[in-house]
Amino acid sequence: MSLVILNTILSKPNVIFHNSFSFYNIFAKKNYSTDSSESTSPKLPSSNNFNLKDFSKQIDNLIKDYRLNKKTEIKNQNQNIDPTISINSKQSQYKLSTAPSGVPLSKLLSNTFPLSFKESFEDFKIRNEAYKVQDDLLSLLDCYPHANELFESKILKIPINLDKNNNVIKISENDEQFFNNDFSEDEKFHRNITYQNYINEFVIYPKGKQSNDPNLNHLIFLHGYGGGIGFFLKNFQSFLSFENSNWCLHAIDLLGYGVSSRPEFRCSNLSNSEDFFVDSLENWRKLRKLNNSENILICAHSLGGYLISVFNMKYPNKFRKILMVSPAGIIKPSKLPDIPKYYDMLWNQNYSPFSLVRYFGPLGSYLVSGWSSRRFDNLDNEEEKNLLHKYAYIIFNSKGSGEYILNHVLSAGGVPRCPLIDFKENRIKYLTCDTTWIYGENDWMDVRGGFEAMKLLNNKVVNESGRTITANVKIVKNAGHHLYLDNTHEFAEILRDEMIELENYSTINNR
């Protein structure tokens, strides 16, 4: 299959690079504009007598020539720019994310793809080694796989049962009893070997204690669309720096994402799609025995924020507070984006942006490097960048599953189909916990959603005891949609303040 794709590229480069479908903005454009009419694909070698090594070398040389020509072109275009500013500086390489409004593949060639074809082929060889890549990435933490002075950590696989239609089966009391106590890494394999589907969890907990200790406070990270626990690496490092022995951190891959199992996604509408994720999250919570709602703080990004809101409406009073980090699906933007017709059509047919990575086989990692080189360019550690790229490639290239919810929740351009805040029914008013709405100052998600939610929720009475909930909005400077990565320092300060606030509340109310 890979050779078929390569031969297609070799024989018909213009078809592949100019007429193929958009990649949903997964590859960020450079900070300077490029006229696509002036872009031309590099001439690729003939497919006769194809040799993989020779092909890789020739392509690497072509790409180097292309980059050199492009740099020269850019330099000429920017002669009036301060000469102390380099086109290759961190400022120009790092790119805040933008709304999914369509980028044709012809423009993708104006990006820098730093990975060589040889490296891309090497990554392709390990495409099925998700656990190893995840372990390598998490091993950058000083508490994994071996404990440090304060914390231990481990990876767990929590079983999720599905019926023949891939609907989540509610767990029985026997299942709950089965996971009544924490289990070691050795026991984990034997206890999960009969389960076909599971949620992948990374947990950090105080040394000598259990990771589901009801007397601890619990911080739970939920990723967004296409994400996984590895993207929170910097936030794990921040958590460890707090040196707070009263907290346990859980980060989970949603079912069908990251390194969780990837069952066939058969949901045909929004309601079924929500249940697929929400019910699996509730099973996870029960099996992990996280039953004290007053000591649970949720940190949910983008799609994760939308799903945890729906969770709270279906299963109220399961946690104390949600940090809604640039949540998706909240409110329709005041101005709808201009979407090309072809792009809208492909979106509505539920094409996944990650299918392109899978389609290009051994060149998939090369394509992903156009995104990862910008998303992680503000990191100083080269090993960290490299491992985050490999991790991104591995999860983007994995079997399509949970990613197919996107079309049910959002229309092209990231516009919510059934926003939680609208004029007909404000579903957001059914939230029963405190919320803090956090946005980047350059966020493409509409911050109006947070302010409208604050108006609707603040001081709302949620139960017979007369308890009221609170809601507020915070803006992170020098950040966009991925603010937890764009400005890790300020985000860490917000996170620590929220943890202290929950601790103080628990102390006052004698948890």
Q: What are the residue numbers of the active site?
A: 302, 443, 481
Give the residue among 335, 484, 473 at the shortest CA–CA distance from 413.
335
Residues 238, 319, 247, 198, CA torsion sign:
negative
DSSP-H helix ranges across 360-510: 364-375, 382-397, 406-409, 448-457, 483-486, 488-508
Give the residue among 350, 281, 348 at the shortest CA–CA distance from 311.
281
Dist. CA 422–CA 435, nearest whole Å = 19
Taking every pair of C-alpha atoms in the chain, what is the biggest distance, in angstroms?
Answer: 78
Q: How many helices (H) and strands (E) does the chain have?
A: 20, 12
Dist. CA 89–CA 68, nearest whole Å = 16
Contacts of 57 (CB under 8 A, 6+ apart): 118
DSSP-H helix ranges across 126-198: 130-138, 173-178, 185-192
User: Is 356:368 a contact under the CB 8 Å cutoff?
Assistant: no
- B/e letters for 58-79, b = 16+ CB within 10 Å, e = fewer, are ebeebbeebeeebeeebeeeee
- The H or E element that residue 18 is part of is helix 13-19
Q: Strand locations in 260-315, DSSP E? A: 296-301
Cα 301-441-333 angle, rounded to 5 deg: 70
Dist. CA 54–CA 252, nearest whole Å = 42
Give the residue among 124, 253, 132 at the shortest CA–CA distance from 198.
253
Both tokens of residue 47? 């497919």
Give the residue among 340, 329, 321, 275 at the shortest CA–CA distance from 305.
329
Q: What is the CA radius of gyration of the chain?
A: 23
Give the residue among 89, 147, 402, 115 at the shortest CA–CA distance from 264.
402
Contacts of 370 (CB under 8 A, 6+ apart): 27, 28, 108, 111, 112, 113
- The H or E element that residue 53 is part of is helix 52-77
Dist. CA 54–CA 50, nearest whole Å = 8
Q: Could you tell me which residues are beta bridge partners of residue 201?
A: 156, 252
